[in-house]
Amino acid sequence: MCNLLRVRWTITPAIPPQPWLVCAGCGVRRPFRCSGKARLNANGRRLDAWLIYKCPVCDKSWNRPLFERRPVQDISPDMLAALQANNPIWIRRQAFDLAALRSHAFDIEECAEIEIAKQVLNRPDGWSILHVELVVDLPAGIRLDRLLARELGLSRARLQSLRRWERLRLEPGRSDALRKRVTDGTGIMLDLACEPNRQMIGDAASGHSRP
């Protein structure tokens, strides 16, 4: 379509989810931070591995089990190498594994702070419809309507009314998707033909200026 401004937003959460735990050092319940380090321990032919979290005040550690008493032969060579080298990419992926963290901590705080890289895929002259494609590799704790409002300079009420008039469409098109957290692969189609601020919104979507 030649009236389509197509952009891609790659969203990266700033910090991993933090479990709220009673600290064994200072005795107070606090959000523990992932240290970015893992620990591996051998027990004969079996291995234990933990991800290390720290109390933000007294630095006391909390070890989140990654696996326990697992036979060496059941661990993939890639995982073993990542653990031995404290591979930051692998560790970051574990730190963002919310389901695994939930099995060890009841109360988890997710940071809404994110970084966005905006890329223009196609910007024809005379475009009137904005299409935003989301790339979300790690879980990000921000709602879709908050993201769009902030990044496009539109109020959330305005987004709701655009949605009602079917000038805002989502793929997949779940009715409550605006109020849900952002997910990988979501497409947002915004018909701005009647919008006087179209160029400004387009610039904001393209990362050329802030609204």
Closest CA to 131 of 205, 183, 65: 205
**What is the C-alpha separation between 84 and 42, in angstroms, rounded?**
12
Indicate which single residue of 14, 22, 58, 81 sits in contact with Zn ion (rule: CB under 5 A).
58
Q: Which of 8, 39, 46, 60 is close enough to bind Zn ion by CB under 5 A?
A: 60
Contact pattern for Zn ion over residues 12 through 41, marking x by CB under 5 A: -----------x-xx---------------
Q: Contact, 50 vs 100, CB < 8 A?
A: no
Q: Which of 7, 38, 55, 66 binds Zn ion (CB under 5 A)?
A: 55
CA-only gyration radius of the chain, Å: 22
Q: In terms of CB distance, is 60 or 167 closer to Zn ion? A: 60
Six-digit token string for 154 = 């539109």
Residues, the chain: 211
Question: What is the smallest separation between the CB atom of 33 and Zn ion, expressed in angstroms?
Answer: 11
Amino acid letter for position 152: L
Stretches 50-58, 102-110, 190-198, 202-210: which one binds Zn ion (CB under 5 A)? Answer: 50-58
Binding site for Zn ion (CB under 5 A): 23, 25-26, 55, 57-58, 60
